């Protein structure tokens, strides 16, 4: 296929996928609005590709993407052919489906969509996320993936990915998020996340508030799930700098790994320990994962947009913190990696977020705020953000585009922090690249951002 034809076929596939009117643009208000039957039907017609390789299934509120990236990097370092399915994406939907560390090719996306098209047209109940999930699972099967790391999109119990028969389940840190869909309390949220637990399949959870932990224990007991925690594990940094973290992870049996984490933030050690705990569960099942692969995988992991430093002096930091708990972790990391700075904050959130709860942990570090919005259709009106900034006594100004806000903050000099939404982070990266300060990422048409959940 020539380059022009490949581009045309790829764009046709994107518009065929993301041009559908469904839950991605009209979000349901109850978890029951999501259903697994449509994706199950689709996968059955495709020969159930998700049953042709092992799976690590990961749910959680914070850190599930980082944990997934770490687990996949370790397995790849161990010599396995891996799949990685994550969401949302920063710049191109191809980021969501990776095989052996590489994004799915444009021609592969076009081919998969053309093959699914008759099945899609026959089933109007399928959502964009159903289709992306099926495409990822089929791509993994046909490329000889041995083990896939699959991140839940939203919740767990009724998420499109919850059709897999995993070898191990992981639950990362839980906090209140998507409450309009998952429920108002941590107990509701934990119940939805615990929906990925399968009878007899080992599961490992990060430390949780007791309200959430009680629900996880109850569901695990009802389903006869061996549920492990990180109790007895020791992990954390001995040295932190903008270049990364150096420290140790130690299992309860005394096994230990001295590692460098390129991902910053003390919370990343919890994610790393969770990924290592998953590897130990796989070892019990006969998978060969040497200690050196654990060290090498953790050292080489990449996960853009999560405390990503684009410039050190003065610092320019991007982070997709989008709720109060992730903002608190961001504030802690900023204070530790770049102590003593006052920041110019570029801030935008999705319309379903409470901006003041995200701003509150950050405001002691902030000198002034540029309030903006991404091009995503669910982006919040900056005027609504102004009310939150005003309530915290912050000096603010509104700019309609992320690139404009970044340009003004950059012209003033000093440290810059971009946060509130991965969509805002993505547009800041794209602006930075357009100025010649980093490689230009491949960017899909704006329509495709609608599919980021």
Ramachandran quadrant class, 116 (left: phi over 0; alpha: psi -120 to 50; beta: rest): alpha
Helix, strand, coil % in the chain, rounded to nearest 5: 45, 20, 40
**Given pLDDT bands bounded at 50, 70 and 90, which one contains residue 6?**
confident
Between the two ends of the chain, the Cα-to-Cα distance in Å is: 32
Percent of the chain topping pLDDT 70: 93
> Domains (ranges, CATH) in the chain?
3-300 (3.40.1190.10), 308-451 (3.90.190.20)
The enclosing H or E element of 116 equals: helix 106-121
pLDDT tops 80 at residue 315: yes
> Looking at per-residue confidence, does 99 or 185 come out higher?
99
> Looking at per-residue confidence, does 267 or 446 come out higher?
267
User: What's residue 24's pLDDT?
Assistant: 39
Q: Are 445 and 19 in contact (CB under 8 A)?
A: no
Model confidence, pTM: 0.93
Tokens linked to 395: 């000096």
Percent of the chain topping pLDDT 90: 83
Q: Taking every pair of C-alpha atoms in the chain, what is the biggest distance, in angstroms?
A: 59
User: What's residue 33's pLDDT?
Assistant: 54
pLDDT tops 60 at residue 123: yes
User: What's residue 25's pLDDT?
Assistant: 42
Which of 428, 421, 451, 447 is CA-nearest to residue 352?
421
User: What's residue 451's pLDDT?
Assistant: 44
**Given pLDDT bands bounded at 50, 70 and 90, which one contains residue 428?**
very high
Which of 355, 348, 344, 358 is CA-nearest to residue 411?
344
DSSP state of 208: -
Q: What is the mean pLDDT of residues 183-197?
A: 91
Q: How far apart are the C-alpha atoms of 15 and 17, rounded to whole Å?
A: 5
Q: What is the mean pLDDT of residues 190-202?
A: 97
CA distances from 54 to 104, 163, 383, 387 (A): 19, 13, 48, 49
Q: How far apart are the C-alpha atoms of 233 and 240, rounded to whole Å?
A: 20
Q: What is the mean pLDDT of residues 181-208?
A: 92
pLDDT tops 80 at residue 184: no
pLDDT tops 50 at residue 450: no
User: What's residue 441's pLDDT?
Assistant: 86
Q: Are 370 and 346 in contact (CB under 8 A)?
A: yes
**Given pLDDT bands bounded at 50, 70 and 90, which one contains residue 420?**
very high
Task: Encode pLDDT of 355-410 as tens digits.
Answer: 999 999 999 999 999 999 998 888 999 999 999 999 999 999 999 999 999 999 99
User: What's residue 206's pLDDT?
Assistant: 97
Task: Encode pLDDT of 17-74 as tens digits.
Answer: 887 644 334 444 545 556 899 999 999 999 999 999 999 999 999 999 999 999 999 9
Which of 160, 164, 198, 197 is CA-nearest to residue 38?
160
Q: Are 263 and 239 in contact (CB under 8 A)?
A: no
Q: Average per-residue pLDDT in the chain?
A: 92
Q: Token match 């906090």: residue?
A: 175
Q: How far apart are the C-alpha atoms of 61 and 335, rounded to whole Å?
A: 23
Q: Identify the sign of the CA torsion 293, 169, 68, 298.
A: negative
Residue 358: asked if its preceding bond is cis (omega within 30°), the reply is: no
Q: Identify the sign of the CA torsion 174, 175, 178, 180.
A: positive
Lowest mean pLDDT among 8-22, 112-126, 133-147, 148-162: 8-22
pLDDT tops 60 at residue 304: yes
Task: Encode pLDDT of 152-169 as tens digits.
Answer: 998 899 999 999 999 999
């Amino acid at each position: 296929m020539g380059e022009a034809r490949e581009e045309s076929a790829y764009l046709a596939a994107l518009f065929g996928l993301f041009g559908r009117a469904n839950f991605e643009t009209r979000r349901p208000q109850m978890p029951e609005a999501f259903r697994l039957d449509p994706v199950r039907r689709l996968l059955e017609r495709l020969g159930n590709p998700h049953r042709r390789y092992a799976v690590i299934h990961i749910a959680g509120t914070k850190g599930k993407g980082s944990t997934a990236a770490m687990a996949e990097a370790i397995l790849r370092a161990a010599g396995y052919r891996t799949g990685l399915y994550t969401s949302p994406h920063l710049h191109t939907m191809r980021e969501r489906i990776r095989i052996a560390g590489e994004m799915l090719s444009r021609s592969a996306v076009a081919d998969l969509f053309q093959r699914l098209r008759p099945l899609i047209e026959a089933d109007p109940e399928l959502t964009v996320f159903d289709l992306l999930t099926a495409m990822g699972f089929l791509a993994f099967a046909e490329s000889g993936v041995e083990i896939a790391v699959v991140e839940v999109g939203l919740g767990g119990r009724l998420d499109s990915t919850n059709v897999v028969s995993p070898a191990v389940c992981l639950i990362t840190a839980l906090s209140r998020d998507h409450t309009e869909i998952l429920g108002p309390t941590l107990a509701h949220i934990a119940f939805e996340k615990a929906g990925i637990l399968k009878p007899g399949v080992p599961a490992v959870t990060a430390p949780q508030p007791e309200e959430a932990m009680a629900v996880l224990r109850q569901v695990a007991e009802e389903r006869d799930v061996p549920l492990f925690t990180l109790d007895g594990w020791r992990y954390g940094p001995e040295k932190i700098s903008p270049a990364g973290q150096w420290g140790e992870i130690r299992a309860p049996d005394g096994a230990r790994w001295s590692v460098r984490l390129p991902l910053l933030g003390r919370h990343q050690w919890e994610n790393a320990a969770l990924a290592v705990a998953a590897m130990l569960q796989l070892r019990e099942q006969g998978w060969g994962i040497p200690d050196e692969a654990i060290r090498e995988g953790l050292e080489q992991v990449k996960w853009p947009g999560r405390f990503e430093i684009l410039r050190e002096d003065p610092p320019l930091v991007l982070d997709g913190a989008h709720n109060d708990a992730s903002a608190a972790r961001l504030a802690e990391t900023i204070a530790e990696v770049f102590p003593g700075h006052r920041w110019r904050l570029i801030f935008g959130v999705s319309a379903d977020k409470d901006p003041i709860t995200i701003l509150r942990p950050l405001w002691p570090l902030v000198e002034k705020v540029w309030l903006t919005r991404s091009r995503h259709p669910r982006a919040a009106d900056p005027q609504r953000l102004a009310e939150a900034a005003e309530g915290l006594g912050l000096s603010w100004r509104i700019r309609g585009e992320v690139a404009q806000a970044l340009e003004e903050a950059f012209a003033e000099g000093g440290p810059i922090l971009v946060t509130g939404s991965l969509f805002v982070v993505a547009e800041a990266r794209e602006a930075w690249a357009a100025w010649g300060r980093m490689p230009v990422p491949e960017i899909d048409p704006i329509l495709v951002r609608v599919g980021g959940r």
